[in-house]
Structure 1
Amino acid sequence: MLELKNLWLQRGERMLLQDVSLRVHPGQKVGITGANGCGKTSLFSLIQGVLQPDGGELTLPPDWVIASVAQEMPSTDASAIEHVLQGDARWWELTRAIAAAERDHADARLPALHAEYEAIDGYRARHRAARLLHGLGFADTSHDRPVTEFSGGWRMRLNLARALMSPSDLLLLDEPTNHLDLDAVMWLEDWLRAYPGTLLLISHDRDFLDAIVDAVAHFERASITLYSGNYSGFERQHAEQLAQQQSAFERQQREIAHIERFVARFRAKASKARQAQSRLKTLERMQLIAPAHVDSPFRFRFPAPSRLPNPLLQLKDCSIGYDHRPLLERVKLSLTPEARIGLLGPNGAGKSTLIKCLVGELPVLAGEALPARELAVGYFAQHQLEQLRPDRSPLQHLQALDPRAREQELRDFLGGFGFHGDQALAEVAPFSGGEKARLALALIVYQRPNLLLLDEPTNHLDLEMRLALELALQEYTGGLVVVSHDRHLLRSIADELWLVDSGRLSRFDGDLEDYRRWLLQREAGAAEEKPAQAGSARPVDRRQQRRDQAEQRRQLAP
């Protein structure tokens, strides 16, 4: 059992934990929640012995093996699969010991070494590592490539696979979905549900937490409160506690009334399509969870676009790709101001490529892309965080967009995104990923776009900011296309789902549960085809080969 007894932890002037007691039992799966900077990651450092408490004690069974994801970017010439295999420390030691014994002709040692190797299922280790890589989205042909050839996000996936490879009693995961797409998130969710050890999971993904955890440890005001049940259960219990405070209760009632008005409007126009009905259910659920978030520091809305041309953008029989090699072909899409589309598709199918084409970053290889003359695109992607000026403050970024605006108006606007007081004047350079993402979103909102193109907008955002973004997108009156691994976001804002697969874009007739089933069937079909293909002389599918090569280039891109 993991136990905290009257534990105190202070960092600088800030008290993170004050007289905290907590018990986590073997096999329990606990979600760790709370505002950014409240001490969640510091708890992991305490457990790993990197930090020492300022008072009280933290105890663990002495024989527990702890696994966690290394935060350092791996830089090694080892292959991807070797990097993952090294996560099983005992397997790696035995492998080297057997090799040394064979080299030194130490025959007397070999039987015992081989017996232990077999006892830890060593002969299947490479197969286990390959399955982890496959589940996290690595093309089979990339397993033997050097780690140094992969981009930063893919190296972090390798670190995650390495942690999962480690036989452990306690697994510590801090935002494991940040660098994953939806397919990999769904795979990881299933893997963690089956994990037999104790799990502590820091995450800002509601659906991910709901599917995995059986308790929630919530950080608030230098204390930790343990709630039984999943994240949805925690939200209900937390809302009931807040309602006992009169001021919080009054704010709750205003928030509920606001969402009820929106739900009533949406119910009147919602179609019978499965995704539209799924969205309606999600909105109705938001009426229940909103009271738990009345103290959120984030409040903003998208101003109405000044113009709404119809259609906003059309793609007519377009081929889209790189270096004259199409990744998508015969793409037809007409985006109207009413469009609210969630893009689905397997890893590497071309979702982000399609978004780049819609933005205008990637010219079509064939066909026509027809933007309206008054089209105003708001585009969010992770690489845009790097385009923020590190030597400028949030206020200066806004002033560059609107030099004539009054400073107080800009500061009031930034306050809705959590940039208050001196932080609105601070340089961006030391900002966290979440702070940079909030600023990038603020810049988009301020420019009043009539078409939003969002590629993984919730990466690095905490739960409160995610909810604020969802609520703002509910009332946004322009067109919307989003790629996201956050299923709660997709359910709450998308009226229709489109599938990118096998070089085509098509409407997906179903909801996200249907998509999960589609993925499983696709995976099963691929597994059945492999033995048949091994002995056949069927011709090479050149289009699929080009798509596979494009996916490899994407994984290896800087």
Structure 2
Amino acid sequence: MLTFSSLSLRRGTRLLIKEASFTIYRGEKVGIVGKNGTGKSSLLSLMLGELQPDAGSFDRPSQLVLAHVAQELEATGQSAIEFVMDGDEELRATEQAIARAEAADDGIRLGELHARYAAMGGYDARSRAARLLHGLGFSSEDENRAIRAFSGGWRVRLNVAKALMCRSDLLLLDEPTNHLDLDAVIWLEDWLRNYPGTLLMIAHDREFLDRTVNRIVHIEQGTARIYTGNYSKFEEQRAEQLAQQQTMFERQQREIKHMMGFVERFRAQATKARQAQSRLKALERMERIAPAHVDSEFEFSFLPPDKLPQPLLTIDDQSVGYGERTVLKSISMNIAPGSRIALLGRNGAGKSTLMKMLAGELTPLSGKRTEARDLRIGYFAQHQLEQLSIEESPLAHLKRVGGATAARATEQELRNFLGKFGFSGDRVFEPVGPFSGGEKARLVLALVSYQRPNLLLLDEPTNHLDLEMRQALAVALQDFEAAVVLVSHDRHLLRAVADDLLLVDQGRARVFDGDLDDYARWFTTREQQEEQEIARDTSVENSAEQKKQRKREEAEQRNRLSGLRSQIARLEKDMTKLQTELSAIESALAEPEIYQEQGKPRLLQLLDSQKTLKRKLDDIESAWLEESEKLEKATAS
């Protein structure tokens, strides 16, 4: 049970959360929502112990095993699967204890540790880690690749897999669907539904939240309030509250207006002055009701294209790839104004490759491409965020990218345009280097829109965007009169925008006959088939590994017996030598003349040597007995 009591939380001088009180019970799955900057990540930092309350308290049972996704991942030579297995700290600690017990030849301790290892599923741990990697989009070949071989987005997935590997009681996730494709999102939501512990998660994907959580913590204007139900239920409850709040606000405003009117009319009259003062005091004591409002500060639209030729782009039997490797073949498409196409397909199937081909960034290996004379492509992809000039401001970017249109516009017109994407005031003059991922994504969307494209290509545009901006994007795309081709893991956006689904699979692109729910079923079936194959492969691998392990153990046993026998033989040789030396001394001591006055020095020397040899012989005999017992035990086992 997690208890927040009158909690207040600051970052610097800014009060993020004020006097929040709520309780989360064991096994609940909670989504944390609110505008960017309201304190969602700070709340997770508090639960991790990285922040302390400025007032009030937060309590959680000390024995809870907590897992979370690390923000950074060092580029090392460790393999992906070994890194993921490190997430189960108890498993790794037990493995180390087993190694120490083996080195100490402690059979009793080894038996206890192996029993514990089996109880925690240690013998299936590698298979469990492989399933996590596969579910998050990694191939079998990726399992043994070094961490340093993966890009930043894939390292994020590795951190997610490591967190899921931990057999935790409490799991904290901060925007886990960023950098995931739709298939990985579908897999992750299924995993989280079956997670037996308590889950607290920040997410900006409403359908993902609807399918995984049963409570919502909403943070707004310093207030944290908890709601029962998924995200859709929360929206319904909040809409009712806002409507009631607006009604109460309007009623209160009428009351305030009436009271202020009385004060203004009668304050100067002696007979009414006391009543006027009473009303002023009542107004001062009145708890003011804030007007109802909607969180979203975004309401934008894509600028209409100058021309809409028909068709815009025709692809005829094209193949495309990288170098000599063909990724997609026999692709044919006809894109016209008003087309709304979503690309579906498993990770690595070639969706982004197809987008690059449509954008003209990849030279086709074969086939024909026909562009309308007035075709103007607007292309949004994640790499474009990295290509922003970190020293330039949003306004400078717009002036440079906007060309002649921007040159003719006044600065105020450009600032008004940027304001629709959340850049207002002095923000338009600040360098974009320190901007968040969401701010950079909004800026790239603004730059794409300003170019008035008639073919809009969007490859995962919602990464880093919050719920309000995603909703604004969906509305803007619905109103956009030109063509849209979209890749996204946000199913709400896909449902709101796409009319046609195109499945990219096994090097081809074909119309998918069904909706997103049908695609989820198709994906799940394929996933189950592949997991069965992985299980079979792992079983075969484990069988082969067990044989290798038995051979290693037999070799180690032979080496151990051989070593013991060699040690015993050396000790027996030393004993024989000492016994021979001792017999020679005893023979010398048996001579009568050794006890005469002139033989006294020799006698003392012989007695001293006899004492030393007997002590050495006793030590070696003890060692011989100990090694002989070890050999007897090892032979018996």
Superposition TM-score, scaled by structure 2 size? 0.75
Aligned to 1:168: 168
User: Which residue of 473, 476, 496 corresponds with 1:492?
Assistant: 496
CA distance in 1, matches of 2:392, 2:536: 59
Q: 2: distance between equivalents of 1:185 and 1:531?
A: 22
Describe the superposition over 1:355-393 as per-residue Cα deviations: whole angstroms up to 9, x where unpaired: 000001111111112222211111111110011111011
- Residue of structure 1 equivalent to 2:232: 232
Do the aligned residues in 1 keep the contact of 2:131 with 2:531 (CA within 8 Å)?
Answer: no
SS across alignment from 1:403: helix
2:381: which partner in 1? 381
Residue 293 of structure 1 deviates from its aligned partner by 7.5
Distance 1:477 1:101 in 2: 71
Distance 2:92 2:385 in 1: 38
Alignment match of 1:482 (pick from 475, 481, 486): 486
Matched, 1:440 2:440: no
- Separation of aligned partners in 1, 2:535 and 2:507: 24
CA distance in 2, matches of 1:417, 1:362: 30
1:324 and 1:365 in contact (8 A); partners too: no
Distance apart, 1:526 and its partner CA: 3.9
Aligned-pair CA distance for 1:410: 0.8
Render the CA deviation track for 1:17-54: whole Å, top value 9, x for unaligned. Answer: 11111110000101100010110000111111111111
Alignment partner for residue 519 of structure 1, among 520, 523, 531? Answer: 523
Residue 293 and residue 77 in structure 1: after superposition, are their counterparts in 2 closer, same or farther (change >3 A)?
farther
Of the three residues 409, 417, 423, the one matched with 1:413 is 417
Whether the 8 Å CA contact 2:35–2:295 is kept in 1: the answer is no
User: Residue type matched to 1:8 in 2?
Assistant: S
2:477 corresponds, among 473, 480, 484, to 473
The alpha-carbon deviation at position 312 of structure 1 amounts to 0.9
Contact 1:74 1:159 in 2 (8 A): no
Q: CA deviation at 1:528?
A: 5.9
Contact 1:68 1:173 in 2 (8 A): yes
The 1:42/1:530 distance shift into structure 2, 3 A limit, reads closer
> Which residue number corresponds to residue 110 of structure 1?
110
Which residue of 1 is the match for residue 391 of structure 2?
Answer: 391
Once residues 7 and 386 of structure 1 are traced to their aligned partners in structure 2, the CA distance between those partners, rounded to angstroms, is 38
| Structure 1 residues 80 and 528: alpha-carbon distance in aligned structure 2, compared to 1, 3 A threshold | closer
What CA deviation, in whole Å up to 9, does each residue of 1:176-206 have, x standing for no partner? 0001000000000000000010000100000
1:69–1:173 contact (8 Å) kept in structure 2? yes
Equivalent AA in structure 1 for residue 524 of structure 2:
L
Q: How does 1:261-276 map to 2 (within 5 A)?
A: none
| Map of 2:182 onto structure 1 | 182
Unaligned runs of 5+ in 1: 251-291, 536-558
Structure 2 CA distance for partners of 1:531 and 1:375, relative to 1, 3 Å: same
Residues 507 and 324 (structure 1), Cα distance of their counterparts in 2 relative to 1, 3 Å cut: same
The answer on 1:502 being equivalent to 2:495 is no
Residue 403 of structure 1 and its aligned partner are, at CA, apart by 2.6
Secondary structure in structure 2 of the residue aligned to 1:143: helix
Task: Quote the offset at 1:493 in angstroms.
Answer: 0.2
Q: CA deviation at 1:247?
A: 8.9
Aligned partner of residue 456 in structure 2, secondary structure = strand
Bigger RCO (CA 8 Å, 6+ sep): 1
Of the two, which has the highest radius of gyration?
Answer: 2
CA contact (8 A) 1:31 1:200 kept: yes
Q: Which residue of 2 aligns with 1:276?
A: none
Q: Which residue is equivalent to 2:337?
A: 337
Any conservation in 2 of the 1:91–1:122 contact (CA below 8 Å)? yes
Between the aligned partners of 1:27 and 1:421, the Cα distance in structure 2 is 45
Q: Does 1:158 align with 2:162?
A: no
More helix by share: 2
Match for residue 364 of structure 2? 364
Which residue does the alignment assign to 1:195? 195
- 2:439 is aligned with what amino acid? E
CA displacement at 1:329 relative to structure 2: 0.8
Q: Structure 1 counterpart of 2:444, which letter? A: A
SS of 1:435 mapped into structure 2: helix
Q: Which moved further from structure 2: 28-37 or 103-112? A: 103-112
Matched, 1:423 2:423: no
Aligned counterpart, 1:547 = none
The aligned counterpart of 1:281 is none
Counterpart residue number, 1:218: 218
Deviations 1:414-444 (A, max 9, x none): 1111111111111101000000000010111
CA distance in 2, matches of 1:454, 1:3: 42
Q: Aligned-pair distance for 1:480? A: 0.6
Is residue 462 of structure 1 aligned with residue 466 of structure 2? yes
Residues in 2 aligned to 1:474 and 1:315: alpha-carbon distance in whole angstroms: 25
Give yes or no for contact 2:66–2:170 (8 Å, CA) kept in 1: yes
2:127–2:538 CA contact under 8 A, matched in 1: no
Distance 1:199 1:531 in 2: 28
Cα distance in 2 for residues equivalent to 1:25 and 1:447: 51
Partner in structure 1 of residue 347 of structure 2: 347
1:528/1:37 CA distance change after superposition, 3 Å: closer
2:456 matched residue in structure 1 = 452
Instruction: From the superposition, tell whether residues 379 and 212 of structure 1 become closer, same or farther in structure 2 (CA, over 3 Å).
Output: same
- Contact kept, 8 Å, 2:382 with 2:459, in 1: the verdict is yes
Q: Distance in 2 between matches of 1:94 and 1:319?
A: 52
Distance across 1 between alignment mates of 2:86 and 2:536: 33
CA distance in 2 between counterparts of 1:429 and 1:194 reads 40
Map of 2:407 onto structure 1: 403
Once the two structures are TM-superposed, the CA of residue 107 in structure 1 deviates from its matched residue by 3.0
Contact 1:248 1:294 in 2 (8 A): no
Contact 1:217 1:224 in 2 (8 A): yes
More moved, 57-66 vs 106-115: 106-115
Taking the aligned partners of 1:249 and 1:338, their CA distance within structure 2 comes to 43
1:103 to partner: Cα distance: 3.1
The CA distance in 1 between the partners of 2:148 and 2:247, in whole Å, is 54
Question: Could you tell which deviates more after superposition, 10-19 or 493-502?
Answer: 10-19
Amino acid at match of 2:143: H
Contact 1:376/1:449 (<8 A) preserved: yes
Quote the offset at 1:404 in angstroms.
2.8
Equivalent pair of 2:295/2:468 in contact (CA under 8 Å): no
Q: Sort the Cα spacing of 1:82 and 1:239 in 2 relative to 1 into closer, same or farther, 3 A.
A: same
Question: Structure 1 length normalisation: TM-score?
Answer: 0.86
Letter matched to residue 501 of structure 1:
D
Question: Is the contact between residue 319 and residue 329 of structure 2 (CA under 8 Å) also seen in structure 1?
Answer: yes
CA RMSD, aligned part only?
Answer: 2.0
Amino acid of the structure 1 residue aligned with 2:419: G
CA deviation vs aligned residue, 1:472-506 (integer Å, no higher than 9, x gap): 00000111100000000000000010000011110
- The letter for the 1-side match of 2:394 is P
The residue identity in structure 1 corresponding to 2:198 is T
Q: How many residues are aligned here?
A: 495
**What secondary structure does 1:328 align onto?**
strand
For residue 408 of structure 2, what is the amino acid of its counterpart? R
Instruction: Tell me, yes or no, if the aligned pair for 2:8 and 2:53 is still in contact at 8 Å.
Output: yes
CA displacement at 1:246 relative to structure 2: 4.1
Corresponding position of 1:266:
none
Asked whether the equivalents of residues 319 and 331 of structure 2 are also in contact (C-alpha less than 8 Å), the reply is yes
* Alignment gaps of 5+ in structure 2: 251-291, 540-637
Matched to 1:45, the amino acid is: S
* CA apart distance, 1:347: 1.0
Alignment of 1:4-15 (within 5 A): 4-15=4-15
* Residue aligning to 1:284: none
Give the structure 2 partner of residue 254 of structure 1: none
